[in-house]
Structure 1
Amino acid sequence: MRFLTWLLTTAIALATAAWLIDGIRFSGPSQGTAEIQEKLLPLILVSLILGVVTSFVKPVLTILSFPFVIITLGLFLLVINAAMLLLTGWLAEKLDIGFDVTGFWPALGGAVVITVTTWIVDSVIGPDERR
């Protein structure tokens, strides 16, 4: 259940970033039920890719860039998150999923939107119950 909650939260955050940030987009129709039908599977796949990239690559980059994180008082973590989004876009392009991030600045804006959206959705859903 926790995995599905995480996947839903990430998918909502990615969809919000694609909607708000020019330069982050899913290919396909842009209106109506055709848009939902054609973009739902790519959205889930990109959410999974982002989760894998964030789980395995981000900790390594964070450790390697720890001095920059300290010097910038944590702001360099935004750059790392943008790099994770760029890597996700590159992998999605190689896998022909239909997700595109056009550059660093859209990735940086997308990283901020994804972070804020995730905080909001997590606060609405509430803490996960652990047994």
Structure 2
Amino acid sequence: MRGFIFRLIINAVALIVTAAIIKGMEFHGIFAPFVAAVVIGVLNAIVRPVLLVLTLPINILTLGLFTFVLNAFMLQITASVVSGFNVSGFWSAFVGAIFMTIISFVLSFFISDKGKIEYIVVKTEE
């Protein structure tokens, strides 16, 4: 449960940072990023695997780059479902999906599957 909450917070922070960077993405309200993070999580768990299977040939031809188009599509679906979250067009969603992927990856690097914060200890010999 703690891992789920950390992932939710990571996705919400990634959405907030992405909306601050990308001109065509904006949030209205305090809870909209958290609701959007939940919706993205549900879409990624249910809809995304089906879309990945259906678009497998084009994904293979583009060496996986078509996945960014699917992520942009998921972001646009989320914006249409969540009130208080707006994405102005496909290119804003596309660039936003790339930024979200990078930010979520970097933040998730420090969180284990059990929800514990990981850190690196460097030991030096004298």
Which bin holds the TM-score, normalised by the shorter protein? 0.7 to 0.9
Whole-Å separation in 2 of the counterparts to 1:80 and 1:50 = 12
Instruction: Give the TM-score normalised by the residue count of structure 2.
Output: 0.85
Write the letter of the residue equivalent to 1:13. Answer: A
Whole-Å separation in 2 of the counterparts to 1:111 and 1:45 = 17
Match of 1:44 among 34, 42, 51: 34
Deviation per CA, 1:72-93, whole angstroms, max 9, x where unpaired? 000000000000001101111x
- Which stretches of structure 1, 4 residues or longer, exceed 2 Å deviation after superposition? 125-130
Structure 1 position 129, deviation (Å): 4.0
Would you say how many aligned residue pairs link Structure 1 and Structure 2?
A: 114
Write the letter of the residue equivalent to 2:85. Answer: F
Specify every segment of 5 or more residues in structure 1 that has no aligned partner in the other structure, as ranges.
28-37
Instruction: Give the TM-score normalised by the residue count of structure 1.
Output: 0.82
Whole-Å separation in 2 of the counterparts to 1:5 and 1:119 = 13
- 1:1-131 matches, within 5 Å, as 1-27=2-28, 38-39=29-30, 41-92=31-82, 97-123=83-109, 125-129=110-114
Whole-Å separation in 2 of the counterparts to 1:53 and 1:126 = 22
Deviation per CA, 1:76-125, whole angstroms, max 9, x where unpaired? 00000000001101111xxxx210011100000010010000111112x2
Give the structure with the higher percent helix: 1
Write the letter of the residue equivalent to 2:80. Answer: W
Q: Point out the structure with max Rg over C-alpha.
A: 2
Specify every segment of 5 or more residues in structure 2 that has no aligned partner in the other structure, as ranges.
116-126
Aligned-pair identity (%): 35
